[in-house]
Amino acid sequence: MAPDPLHIHGQVIRVVASPTMSVMTAHACGPRSEALCNVPLAPETPYTIRFKFLNASTHYETTTFFQIVDNTIGTLTEPRLKMALTDKGYTLTVGTSAIQPDSVAGKYLVMGPCAPDVNQWTQWVIELKRSATHGYLRITKDGKLVGNLSGIATMYEPRLLQDQDGHLKFGVYRHSVTETQTEYYTDFTIQES
């Protein structure tokens, strides 16, 4: 926890990744500084996830700042949903499914520029239904619809999950950390829709 750098909110979550602080975790593709939200996201259940995000860094490589991940045991699957800061702007990438391997997997949407938002709070709302065949995602940033996908795989495969729900991660995920990056999060809520 740290004070809000803009003095709008009281204490907020601060996540810092630097060349000397970030660590490689098991199965990691690169260094990370992350926070895990262990609230389970059950299959076939609609959710609304809200949070405020502030990127305090003017330099960033492709940096994932929010993920929804399947809790798979002994099976390596990519995150179902990744939201990232890139040189193209905010991007959304959706993972593949064993049932629908060619849905929107690996493709990403550019959800708008991120450079104007440096050192500004942005409000994100994600409406999500986890399903291996007919899930959906609706994403708004500051009240504007920036992503809308339906009939897609938002989880890998139900039989592999066997009572394993998905969970959320937020923080700095990068393939390399060459400069310090700081992100802030607050007003995080998850509710069934």
100: amino acid identity, one letter: Q
Q: Where are the domains of the chain?
A: 2-192
Q: In 21-134, at which residue ranges do the beta strands (DSSP E only) sit? A: 32-41, 46-55, 63-69, 81-86, 89-94, 108-110, 122-129
Residue 115 DSSP SS3: helix
Say whether pLDDT at 159 is over 80.
no
Average pLDDT over every residue of 19-41: 63
CATH class of 2-192: mainly beta
* pLDDT class of 112 with cuts at 50, 70, 90: very high
How high does pLDDT run on average in the chain?
Answer: 79
* pLDDT class of 27 with cuts at 50, 70, 90: very low
**How many residues in the chain?**
193
pLDDT in tens, 32-91: 667 777 788 888 889 999 999 999 987 666 788 898 887 655 454 556 788 988 888 998
How far apart are alpha carbons 132 and 161 in whole angstroms?
11
pLDDT in tens, 120-139: 999 999 999 988 778 899 99
Cβ 122 vs Cβ 107: under 8 Å: no
How far apart are alpha carbons 83 and 94 in whole angstroms?
9
Average pLDDT over every residue of 162-190: 78
User: In what order do the strands lie in the sheet containing 89-94?
Assistant: 32-41, 166-173, 63-69, 81-86, 89-94, 108-110
Cβ 184 vs Cβ 4: under 8 Å: yes
Residue 161 DSSP SS3: helix
